[in-house]
Structure formats: C-alpha cells, structure tokens
Amino acid sequence: MRIEKGVVVVAYKEVRRNHRYLVLKRTKNWEGWELPKGHLEEDDYRETVKLELGEEAGLSEEEIEDIKDMDETLEWTFEDDGEEIKREYKAFLVEISEDAIIDVSENPHDEHETGFFLDYEDASSLLTYDNQAEILERGKESLE
C-alpha cells in the first residue's frame, strides 16, 4: 500500500465576533464540499498549508494570520488502478484576516468551482465527508 501525506485545513476568520469557516465546492474527480487540503510539498507542513490556501482559495500569505497544528490526522484509503492508497493528512487550524475574500479563479488544477466562509452549522452541513466534518468540529471546539 502506498502512503501519501498531506494537510487538511480548518481555515476560519472572525466576522462581527463570530467565526466563519472556509468550505470549497469541489468539481474535479468528484463533486461535493470539502475543506482545503493537499499533498505534502517538500516535507514542510506549514508551507504546504500556505501553498494550498493560495492555490485552492486564492488567499495570500499576508492574509494568513496564524497556523496551529491540531494534533489530528485525517486518514482514508482508496483504490487507484488496482493499487490501494492510504492518505494521512495532518490537520491545521488557520486564522485568516477578516477582510480576506475567496477567489478560486486562479486554481491551477481547476479543483473547485467556488468557496465561502460560512458559520459552523452551514459549513458542517455542506461537507461531503464525515471525517472532514469531525475535523471541522474539533477546530471549532478549540476556538471556544
């Protein structure tokens, strides 16, 4: 079994003293809603978080205010051309500046159609996979 490492990001911003969480509508390979995520680049998790937020949501490094390791790993397996693949994605809680706007138009891989910062209930209800909803819930709990 091949193991692929990466990051999954619970990105949030504070709007009028309420947290809003970033969700993206995926259209490449499958359709649904997800948290920002991606393969580990050059064995540097924090740089990968910045890269993925830039690529997938159009967020600049200047708009990233804080990155915290959640000490959680999202794991799942799937089959690709008869090969079993396991993904191990470290979770990060990332604070985004209040005035940041999502722009998926420059996504180099055309993975996402759109993205929004939503309140917890709306963001959680949209997520396609339960394991991402659980990571979102843990991120929310750590902010309370």
Q: Which tens digits make up the pLDDT trace of 95-118?
A: 999 999 999 988 877 899 999 999
Please report, as a single letter, which amino acid is at residue 102: I
The per-residue pLDDT for range 37-61, each reduced to its tens digit, is 999 999 999 999 999 999 999 999 9
Instruction: Give the rounded distance of the alpha carbon of 93 from its chain centre.
Output: 9
Which of 75, 86, 79 has the alpha carbon at shortest distance from 134? 75
Q: Say if CB 1 and CB 94 are below 8 A apart.
A: no
Q: Helix, strand, or coil here: 43?
A: coil
| Beta bridge pairs of residue 68 | 93
In this structure, what token pair is assigned to residue 89?
A: 């994605």
| Sequence-separated (6 or more) residues with CB below 8 Å from residue 80 | none
pTM, two decimals, is 0.94
How many CB atoms sit inside 10 A of residue 96's CB?
23
Predicted confidence at residue 110, as pLDDT, reads 85
